[in-house]
Amino acid sequence: MSQDHVHLGIAAAREKVDEAVSREDILRARDRLKVLQTRSAKRWPRLLWLLAGPGVLVMLAENDGPSMVSYATTGATYGIGFFVPFILLTFVMAFVVQEMTVRLGVATHRGHAELIFQRFGPFWGYFAMGDLVFGNVLTLVTEFIAIQAGGLYFGLPAWLSVAIGVGLMIASLALRRYATWERMLMTLAAGNLLFIPAALFAHPSGAGLAHAVATWGPLPGGFGKAFVTLILANVGATVTPWMIFFQQSAVVDKGLTRADVPQGRIDTAVGAAVAAVTAIATVVATAPLFAAHVDVSQFASGADFATALRPLLGTTGATLFALGIVEAGLVAAMTISISSSYALAETMSARHSLNLDLSRGRLFYGVAVVSTLVAAGIVLIPGAPLLAMTLTVNVIATLLMAPALLLLLLLVNDREIMRDLANGLRANLAGGTIVVAISLIGALYGVITVFPNLLGK
């Protein structure tokens, strides 16, 4: 054999290796090596740090623009009574749901959309995708409403705030590295904590908060349509379909294994706890509007809340609130657009990872960019009812959640794919209760929509 033939053979072999072992595989393997070395050294805090991410991100990203406006509307309408313990309960629900997605991702190494197509067929696959895409597009619009609102508070024109948001989102994709993207987003998501010092400027009563948690507090205005709508909005602010798709795909992209399930649970629990605290802080921060009898029904966006809070919390408190609204919208826009990318790429059997280079990940990155541009364009339409859209999105998210949860429960009970990580009796009772509760709340909302005078205002 000639030397030229030898070189050609080596070149062909290298090409096959390059195709079999992609940049995506190499980067994930490097991350896994760090995990294995840390586990072998029994450095448990560092191990948790390396494995944390999907749970914290999904929970703090769900404290998004519409969610924080829903919490703000709740505090301004009802104070800290009933809704403080109710919000705690919704985050317990969120942990139950998201813990199942951790086990599902670890057991199958498949994204949620891919699994639905494989186990239930095209009809339910496209149904789930329709559910997700519809909710994600609407939610992305409201994230840019939040970014725009925060910018307006600081005197920035709407187009500039939206353009900055779009630019930052697209720039995050250029990292082409899951681990770097995750850490960057976790750093940005820490801005959700701004609502805590904002709440302290409201000088809340510790005894009043404890009483609210212990007794579920008074309910000013009674049980009417406005109350049911806010119940739905608060549930939709905590448990939504995109969270299932994002966290399961992120668990797979991160490369978590069965040995990592305990850390995955802790990651999700910490995220739920921090998100619950900041959600309650938002209610507390806006409770002075309730005490001052401010009518928030005419507010157009989160910027109106920050402006109304300025004489009550002071300039610093109101500024922190406005910055928190911007952060909430920006982090959520990044994660929700990526959840759409994961799901659509999985459905089309295309590559789906934040470790992909731009050429191999054209579809994956393209979905995130196009959905972001569409949502940003809708926000800039003159005269759009921004606050109504923001609250309605969370209501719609709650109504879409029941079928998404049912499919999740069926998958985590499929022992052929889950094996020893399948749901037990307690997990099924908790998950089933959540499905029934969300379905009943949604049915009640449907009834009062058809019969608007049934429960009064």
Q: What is the mean pLDDT of each run of 10 residues along the chain (457 residues)?
A: 47 46 75 86 90 93 87 89 89 94 94 91 87 85 87 88 92 86 92 94 87 77 73 82 92 91 95 95 93 80 84 93 91 92 88 85 91 88 69 72 89 93 92 86 71 61
DSSP string for residues in 359-370? TTTHHHHHHHHH
Q: On the CB side of 187, how many CA atoms lie within 13 Å of its CA?
A: 7
Q: On the CB side of 6, how many CA atoms lie within 13 Å of its CA?
A: 3
Distances (CA, A) of 235 to 239, 287, 406, 422, 435: 6, 19, 17, 26, 12
- Give the residue among 50, 55, 54 at the shortest CA–CA distance from 268: 55
Classify residue 184 by burial, with Cβ atoms within 10 Å: 0-12, 13-18, 19+: middle
User: Which residues, including other chains, have CB under 8 Å from residue 296's CB and lie 6 or more apart?
Assistant: 72, 73, 76, 77, 289, 304, 305, 308
At what angle are helices 23-40 and 44-51 packed, to 10 degrees? Answer: 160
End-to-end CA distance of the chain: 88
Measure the CA–CA gap between 160 and 137, rounded to whole angstroms: 21
Measure the CA–CA gap between 182 and 203, rounded to whole angstroms: 35
- Are the C-beta atoms of residues 58 and 335 closer than 8 Å to each other? yes
Q: What is the DSSP letter of 354?
A: T
- Are the C-beta atoms of residues 50 and 199 closer than 8 Å to each other? no
The radius of gyration of the chain's CA atoms, rounded to the nearest angstrom, is 23
Domains, the chain, ordered by start: 42-450 (1.10.4160.10)
pLDDT at 10 (0 to 100): 46
pLDDT at 15 (0 to 100): 46
Measure the CA–CA gap between 309 and 323, rounded to whole angstroms: 13
- Are the C-beta atoms of residues 266 and 48 closer than 8 Å to each other? yes
pLDDT at 126 (0 to 100): 87
